[in-house]
Amino acid sequence: MDFETWWLIFVPVLFALGWIASRVDIRQMLSETRSLPNSYFKGLNFLLNEEPDRAIDAFVEVAKLDPETTELHFALGSLFRRRGEMERAIRVHQSLLSRADLPQADRESAQHELAQDFLKAGMLDRAEQAFEQVLDTRFAVPAVRALIRIYESEHDWPRAIEAVKRLRALVDEPVPQLVHYQCERAVAAMAGKNPDFKAASEALDAADHAAAALRGDAGSQASEARIAMLRAQLARLSGKPEEERAYLASVLDTAPEYASLIAGELIESYRQVGQQEEGLAVLQNHYMRHPSLDTFNVVFRELRSQHGHKPAWAFAREALRAHPSLLGLDRMLEAELVLNEDPAGVRLAASEGSSAAADIVAGADLSLLRTLIHKHTQRLDRYACRVCGFEARHFYWQCPGCNSWETYQPRRLEEMK
């Protein structure tokens, strides 16, 4: 193709057009920059200098001067909420919702932010109403999750169950706490002077159905254990000792780690039908395969009660050699001291029990020994949440600290070291 000289005319024209375009962009940028209030730049400067309090004051001033700055209002509301200034956060988001010209997408965002403000402020009724208003928006999933937390805190288990069903319709994921919601319904039905056995049984059937979807997961053992324990309680209240024992014994197979929670009840159920020796053998065999402190304590006490101090202490020596435990020794000494006293609390001088002290440790003062050990074991005699670390003397299915479910292991702190 031949080169035409007149094509050279396009070169300066293109350069001119580029120069004009750049000037327009620069002028527009300068114009927008000049239109921003000085408080905006002051706020940025304070943020860069790590002075958040002064930065917030500067941005509040910008929001007053230019009410159209929607994004700035959202940023301020989030900042106030993170700092715990809930009243100011609520005012910011309410002021956004009061604008008639606010786009629908921003209105939904403001409603969701306001709901979070109410939730963090502990205004659960208003938070519930605010979250319900965004259930049909793009915030449906976080709104349903928040409603579940609200119903949990209010112990409104039927509504929590309905909210979980709604969540499952939105996202395909397991919800382990659904089992415990049904269990809580069963607990409520069995409480009081007039327990509703039918409602409790139906709730436990629903818990079984929910647990079926979790079988094979890490958390399913806890669910299986709790359902069996509640069925045992229901059988006991219904006057069915054989069923109670069967449900308690099932925990040993389906959730062996949780046997320590039912060991005392299991031996008592065997005792009610005159089969305490068989119950002791079952627990002793289980302890050899799944040692735990509470099971050890029950086995020791039963051996001491049924066969005397020598077999009990022989078992204790072997167990403590295999699994050294100050808590175990503390419980042993406690049981021995209780069994060495009569109902009036007076030390028996001529009984088989009183000679036990000399056989165990010649010349030892078991009471003094137990007192010294007990001081060191009090801090170890606790359960701990594996999520937040909250420690408690009693076992909980839901952590009182972080409200997480199934985060307590059925073992004391000493056993987990």
Structure tokens at 107: 């209105």
Ranked by mean pLDDT, the top range of 131-145, 292-306, 375-389 is: 131-145
Query: Of 58, 404, 211, 323, nearest to 300 (Cα)?
Result: 323
β partners of residue 385: 408
The pLDDT confidence band at residue 339, using thresholds 50, 70 and 90, is: low
The CATH number of 174-290 is: 1.25.40
Closest CA to 411 of 303, 259, 289: 259
pLDDT reported for residue 75: 77
Domain 67-171 of CATH type 1.25.40.10: yes
Whole-prediction pTM value? 0.75
- pLDDT, averaged across the chain: 78
Tell me which of 309-313, 375-379, 400-404 is least confident.
375-379
Q: pLDDT band for position 30 (50/70/90)?
A: very low
Residues in the chain: 417
Render the burial of 273-290: b for 16+ CB within 10 Å, e for the rest. eeebeebbebbbebbeee
Structure tokens at 179: 């089992």
pLDDT of residue 141: 95
279, two tokens: 């119950």
Cα(245)–Cα(236) distance, rounded to whole angstroms?
Answer: 9
Q: Which of 55-69, 169-183, 257-271, 344-358 has the lowest mean pLDDT?
A: 344-358
> Which helix H or strand E contains 231, and what residues bound it?
helix 220-237
